[in-house]
């Protein structure tokens, strides 16, 4: 019953993970930046401009003008004083006449720039080709204008309209690469050690001795079957579609799930470190609340993990929240990598290939019958909502550009692009340990292949200038690497069936004595891994 509950919880969490992918395919063609600077603060806002208007590309070479708000819609010339518009950037509310008419009147009063305040969202200002406006005109959204006028910039506001060059490749991708590869390498390494200790005991019903107290250790991992993989892929397809149509409601469900799951993941990752420290080992006195009497340090750790998750949940839209999200996300990924076990290469291949097809379909195929919009990208970027799904690693862009201000201030990598290859690499590490392969060749080679695949994803992101399904590059790199090494070493059959060691025993009924097992399989040799040598007989 406990196994079924754990499997259900992990399946539910994993379903939401695959609603995400990296990037966004929007075009930043006619978008620019309104830089507002005051004595107390400065901030950038997204604007849209007409392609016939030329804006500077370098902020240092862009002229500064005081920002003033027009006292009328500027739809007809007025005899009232208008000196306040001279040599200024004039903000005009939309309505009552054409944009060109507003710009022409403002230009006639000596304005240097015109900023149209939209009634709703951004749109590209346009006018007839025969009409000529010599000053720049741009449009700002109603939300951004409200934010601008309510922020305290100081006594005066100086603004600059410019269009910095757009580039999909940014220095933050190097940070994202290090975080992703580090998470995969550490998670798969830990998973390999854990799985190698439990693998034979799980399959045979033989217990593993706990080195600390001599008791039988508890198996908390979940072994994935081919049927579970198929059901999982079908469910994530349905979940992604539900998120696409009911995003504004389900996003809060995902946020709550992430807080709970990441809190547990952080606890699992920090527990070994806390237990290693020689502090706080005394237990809580007996009381009615804590019947199990946990150690003081464990209780403090639980409170710390809860505080981290709650802190992120409250501050998730602040500028620094990405740091908390990445810490919680990495701990969550490592926890899942350690606790979900792929038993053989057959299951690994089915999982990776099906999710590769899923990734390609929802990124590249769905735009053909959904008005040009990718279902995956719409869900990953929030589809215009203020809330975004948290199941991603995110790093803010280091270079200022139109893309970073208007469309993608962060580079994203979905947890699925970390977890799926990492589960396979964890299986490879288990095989290395149980088979005594030289220099852990499978683990090292597939980890390196993952890093190369992620670099290839970033390169294609730059070449195609749109969001990429990372598994399109990660799956072939990691899976083919494992197959090639297995073929060269003659291990493919054992990898495919999941026989981790050359002398791995067959499954037992759990009722055989130690003498019967040894007589049927032969004695263990000194070359067997230490994890196998620590196996003891099952309870008769």
Percent of the chain whose pLDDT exceeds 70: 79
Q: 395: part of which helix (H) or strand (E)? A: strand 392-396
Q: What is the DSSP string of 321-340?
A: HHHHHHHHHHHHHHHHHHHE
* CB distance 401 to 165 below 8 Å: yes
Closest CA to 482 of 360, 349, 358: 349
Q: Is the dihedral of CA 525, 528, 534, 535 positive or negative?
A: negative
pTM comes to: 0.78
Q: Phi first, then psi: give them for residue 31, nearest 5 degrees.
A: -110, 145
Which residue, 135, 137, 134, 131, is CA-closest to 117?
A: 137
What integer pLDDT is reported at residue 214 of this predicted model? Answer: 37
Helix (H, G, I), strand (E, B) or coil at 398: coil
How far is residue 363's CA from residue 473's CA, in Å, rounded to a whole number?
14
**pLDDT for the residue numbered 525:** 44
- Among 29-43, 105-119, 138-152, 377-391, the minimum mean pLDDT is found in 377-391
CA distances from 100 to 49, 54, 443 (A): 13, 16, 64
SS3 label, residue 293:
coil
Confidence band of 528 (pLDDT split at 50, 70, 90): very low
Phi, psi of 222, deg, nearest 5 = -120, 125
Which pLDDT score is estimated for 322?
Answer: 94
Q: Strand (E) positions, 31-73?
A: 31-37, 42-49, 65-69
Token pair 């490749």 is at which residue? 169
**Beta partners for residue 68, in sequence order:** 90
- Would you say residue 388 has pLDDT above 50? yes
CA neighbor of 106 nearest in space, from 87, 126, 79: 87
Tokens found for residue 298: 């464990």
At 52 the pLDDT is: 74
Structure tokens at 413: 């990598």
Angle, in degrees to the nearest 10, between helices 296-315 and 247-276: 150
What span, in angstroms and rounded, lies between the C-alpha atoms of 63 and 84?
Answer: 18
User: Are 497 and 203 in contact, with CB atoms under 8 Å apart?
Assistant: no
Query: How far is Cα 73 from Cα 162, in angstroms, rounded to an integer?
Result: 25
The most confident of 11-20, 138-147, 346-355, by mean pLDDT: 346-355
Number of Cβ within 10 Å of residue 510's Cβ equals 11
Higher pLDDT, 41 or 527: 41
Calculate what percentage of the chain has a pLDDT beyond 90: 35
CA 299/CA 241 separation, integer angstroms:
40
Catalytic residues: 359, 417
Return the pLDDT at 130.
65
Q: CA 503 to CA 523: how far, in whole Å?
A: 10
* Cα–Cα distance, 480 to 453 (Å, whole number): 11
Closest CA to 238 of 64, 3, 11, 498: 11
Q: Of all helices (H) and strands (E), which one includes residue 10?
A: helix 2-17
CA distance 190 to 198: 13
CB burial of residue 58 (10 Å; 0-12, 13-18, 19+): exposed
Cα 283 to Cα 264, 293, 413: the distances in Å are 21, 6, 41
Asked if 157 and 36 count as a contact pair (C-beta separation under 8 A), the reply is yes
Q: What is the pLDDT of residue 421?
A: 95
Beta bridge partners of 4: none
Q: What is the pLDDT of residue 296?
A: 86
Question: Does residue 397 or residue 96 have the better pLDDT?
Answer: 397
pLDDT digits over 465-512, tens only? Answer: 666 788 999 999 999 999 999 999 999 999 998 876 555 543 333 334
Could you report the per-residue pLDDT of 224-266, keeping only the tens digit for each? 888 999 999 999 999 888 988 888 889 999 999 999 999 999 9
Helix, coil or strand: residue 268: helix
Residue 513 has pLDDT above 80, yes or no: no
Residue 317: is its pLDDT beyond 80? yes
Tell me, rounded to whole angstroms, the distance of Cα 370 from its chain centroid.
Answer: 24
Residue 456 above 70 pLDDT?
yes
pLDDT in tens, 159-207: 999 988 876 567 888 999 999 999 999 999 999 988 877 755 655 555 4
Of the ranges 87-96, 233-242, 324-333, the best mean pLDDT one: 324-333
pLDDT at 38: 87
Element (H, E) at 248: helix 247-276
Question: Which of 90-94, 261-265, 368-372: highest mean pLDDT?
Answer: 261-265
Separation between Cα atoms, residue 106 and residue 98, nearest integer Å: 13
pLDDT the model gives residue 26: 40
pLDDT score of 384 more than 60: yes
Q: Which residue in 465, 483, 461 sits closest to 473, CA to CA?
A: 461
Residue 508, both tokens? 């037992």
Name the percent of the chain in helix, strand, coil, to the closest 5: 55, 10, 35
Helix (H, G, I), strand (E, B) or coil at 1: coil
Give the whole-angstrom CA distance, residue 303 versus residue 213: 27
| Residue 445: pLDDT over 60 | yes
Average pLDDT, the chain: 80
Task: Identify the pLDDT of residue 533.
Answer: 44
Which SS3 state, helix, strand or coil, does residue 388 take? coil
CA distance 455 to 479: 16
Q: Tell me what pLDDT residue 201 has.
A: 63
Alpha helices in 140-246 (DSSP H): 142-150, 172-204, 226-245
Question: Which among 59-63, 441-445, 458-462 has the top mean pLDDT?
Answer: 441-445
What value does the mean pLDDT take over residues 138-145?
Answer: 89
Residue 219 has pLDDT above 90, yes or no: no
Q: Which two tokens stand for residue 202?
A: 């799980």
Q: How far apart are CA 445 and CA 428, in angstroms?
A: 10
Question: What's the pLDDT at 540?
Answer: 36
- Collapsing DSSP to helix, strand or coil, 393 comes out as strand
């Amino acid at each position: 019953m406990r196994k079924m509950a754990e499997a259900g919880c992990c399946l539910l969490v994993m379903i939401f993970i695959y609603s995400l992918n990296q990037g966004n395919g929007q075009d930043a063609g006619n978008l620019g930046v309104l830089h507002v600077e005051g004595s107390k603060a400065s901030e950038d806002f997204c604007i849209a401009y007409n392609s016939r208007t030329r804006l500077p590309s370098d902020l240092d070479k862009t002229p500064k003008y005081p920002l003033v708000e027009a006292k009328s819609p500027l739809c007809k010339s007025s005899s009232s004083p208008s000196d306040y518009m001279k040599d200024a950037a004039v903000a005009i509310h939309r309505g009552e006449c054409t944009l060109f008419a507003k710009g022409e009147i403002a230009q006639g009063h000596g304005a240097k720039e015109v900023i149209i305040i939209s009634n709703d969202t951004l749109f590209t200002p346009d006018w007839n080709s025969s009409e000529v406006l010599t000053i720049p005109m741009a449009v700002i959204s109603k939300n951004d204008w409200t934010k601008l006028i309510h922020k305290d910039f100081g006594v005066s506001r100086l603004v600059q309209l410019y269009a910095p060059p757009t580039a999909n490749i940014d220095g933050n991708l190097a940070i994202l690469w290090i975080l992703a590869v580090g998470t995969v390498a550490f998670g798969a390494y830990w998973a390999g050690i854990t799985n190698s200790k439990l693998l034979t005991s799980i399959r045979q019903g033989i217990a593993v001795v706990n080195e600390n107290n001599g008791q039988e250790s508890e198996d908390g991992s979940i072994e994935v079957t081919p049927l579970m993989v198929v059901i999982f892929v079908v469910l994530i397809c349905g979940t992604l579609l539900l998120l696409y149509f009911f995003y504004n409601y389900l996003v809060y469900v995902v946020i709550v799930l992430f807080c709970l799951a990441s809190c547990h993941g952080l606890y699992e990752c920090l527990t070994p470190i806390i237990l290693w420290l020689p502090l706080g080992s005394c237990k809580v006195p007996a009381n009615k609340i804590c019947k199990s009497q946990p150690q003081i340090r464990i209780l403090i750790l639980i409170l710390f993990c809860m505080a981290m998750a709650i802190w992120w949940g409250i501050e998730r839209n602040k500028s620094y929240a990405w740091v908390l999200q990445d810490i919680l996300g990495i701990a969550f990924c490592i926890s899942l990598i350690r606790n979900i076990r792929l038993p053989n290469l057959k299951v690994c291949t089915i999982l990776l290939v099906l999710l590769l097809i899923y990734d390609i379909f929802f990124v590249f195929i769905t735009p053909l019958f959904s008005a040009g919009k990718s279902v995956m990208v719409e869900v990953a970027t929030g589809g215009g909502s203020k809330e975004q799904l948290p199941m991603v690693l995110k790093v803010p862009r280091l270079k200022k550009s139109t893309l970073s201000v208007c469309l993608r201030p962060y580079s994203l990598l979905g947890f699925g692009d970390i977890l799926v290859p990492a589960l396979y690499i964890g299986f490879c590490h288990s095989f290395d340990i149980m088979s005594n392969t030289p220099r852990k060749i499978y683990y090292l080679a597939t980890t390196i292949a993952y890093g190369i695949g992620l670099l290839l994803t970033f390169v294609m992101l730059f070449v195609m200038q749109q969001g990429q399904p990372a598994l399109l590059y990660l799956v072939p790199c990691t899976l083919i690497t494992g197959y090639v090494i297995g073929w060269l070493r003659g291990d493919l059959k054992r990898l495919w069936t999941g026989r981790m060691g050359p002398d791995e025993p067959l499954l037992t009924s759990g009722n055989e004595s130690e003498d019967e097992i040894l007589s049927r399989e032969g004695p263990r040799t000194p070359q067997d891994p230490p994890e196998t040598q620590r196996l003891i007989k099952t309870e008769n």
